[in-house]
Chain A
């Protein structure tokens, strides 16, 4: 190295020989280099640990939200089970065919009249009193599907259940399938939005 340095030094143009030679300058800065290296390594490890734990928190938050969703789905299913056997005494509020009388109101779950105000509007509004009647348009001479949304709170963050009650007459017997989809947040704009579903057949 000494030899090389000597040559380099010698070859510098006149008038520049008082400056630090280029090769000597290249040997400096190792301290900063090592500091940066150790720093980057520990930063990478720290970020990795942090990322893992943030994901863990996300996971447990999603699991909690999932609880809200599944109980919303359950509330929707229970609502149907009740009104399928207790409407006006012992009748069903849900139509089976075009011959069924479809109630226009008086089917109340969680304080919401799902017959009168059961259709969730687009764009979403949490005020159920402004909602239209439930949807009973899918109706034939031997089958009918009733669709409604049950709000479990008063804001877009509130849980809700979107419920389908499908009834069909097969060989004189009525078969019912209740599909209740529970959401932790009713508005689709909310994140995270978790859906859990119950299906009841009888």
Chain B
């Protein structure tokens, strides 16, 4: 008989198991947290994007309403035709085309985005918005990730008093994935 206590420490196997468990336990949540942060940033960009889309839609509506109040053609300026309040650059019909090929850019601050024009044709690829706190615009500030494309077409039956307005925001998120949202609005020459 012996009353000697076993005094051995941990075996190598025990240590390996413990280290393995701790590694899994710590790296898992860390990955999840990092993924969570990415998702939070995507959500932030998405929120900014839809406000920028809303901004463009409201501006186009205000131009239409101003045109009606001043007795001009209802899409004057937007379609490249002369508009003393918000002059276009007149290139390729600016925002308006039957096939939806024309696209334009403008900012709701009423800046001259190209020369002395409020509306400028994108010529296939719209520039990215600039950010000059607290406003997004096209003239001053640092370049942002957001590209805003505004396009106005007639509906499928070619009705002249109706316009389908599409505002597309595209951006490349933190993971390099290109994200897009498109807001569609139908405008009528009802006033």
Q: Which of A36, A46, A86 meets B32, CB within 8 Å?
A: A46
Is B181's CB within 8 Å of the partner chain A?
Answer: yes
Total interface residues on A, CB under 8 Å, equals 51
CB distance from A106 to the nearest CB of B (A): 11
Tell me the smallest distance from the CB of A50 to a CB of chain B, in Å: 5
Query: Bound state CA distance, A81 and B162, in angstroms?
Result: 12
Cβ-closest chain A residue relative to B10: A31
Chain A residues positioned under 8 Å from B29 (CB to CB)? 42-43, 45-47, 49
Interface residue A68 (Cβ < 8 Å from any Cβ of B): yes
Contact status B190-A81, CB under 8 Å: yes
B123 within 8 A of A: no
Nearest neighbor of B43 in chain A, beta-carbon distance: A60
In the complex, how many angstroms separate the beta carbon of B14 from the nearest chain A beta carbon? 6
Size category, B interface: 35 or more
Write the nearest CB–CB distance from A103 to chain B, whole angstroms.
16
Number of cross-chain contacts by CB at 8 Å: 147
Closest to B6 in A: A24
A126 to B1, CA, bound (A): 88
Which of A56, A60, A85 has the most chain B CB within a 10 Å cutoff?
A60
**B178 beta carbon closer than 8 Å to chain A:** no
Asked if A50 contacts B53 (CB within 8 A), the reply is: no
Of residues 26 to 63 in B, which have CB atoms within 8 Å of A's CB atoms?
A: 26, 28-33, 35-37, 39-40, 42-44, 46-47, 49-50, 53-54, 57
A132 to chain B, nearest CB (A): 20
Chain A 50-71 interface 0/1 with B at a Cβ cutoff of 8 Å (1 = within): 1011101101110110011001
- A5-B5, A35-B18, A67-B50 as given contacts; A81 in contact with B40, CB under 8 Å: no
7 contacts between A and B (CB under 8 A): A31-B10, A38-B22, A42-B25, A67-B53, A75-B185, A78-B187, A79-B188
Beyond A45-B33, A53-B43, 8 additional contacts (C-beta under 8 Å) are A9-B1, A31-B10, A46-B30, A50-B32, A56-B43, A63-B46, A82-B190, A152-B186
Residues of B within 8 A of A (CB): 1, 3, 5-6, 10, 14-15, 17-18, 21-22, 24-26, 28-33, 35-37, 39-40, 42-44, 46-47, 49-50, 53-54, 57, 155-157, 159, 161-162, 164, 181, 183-190
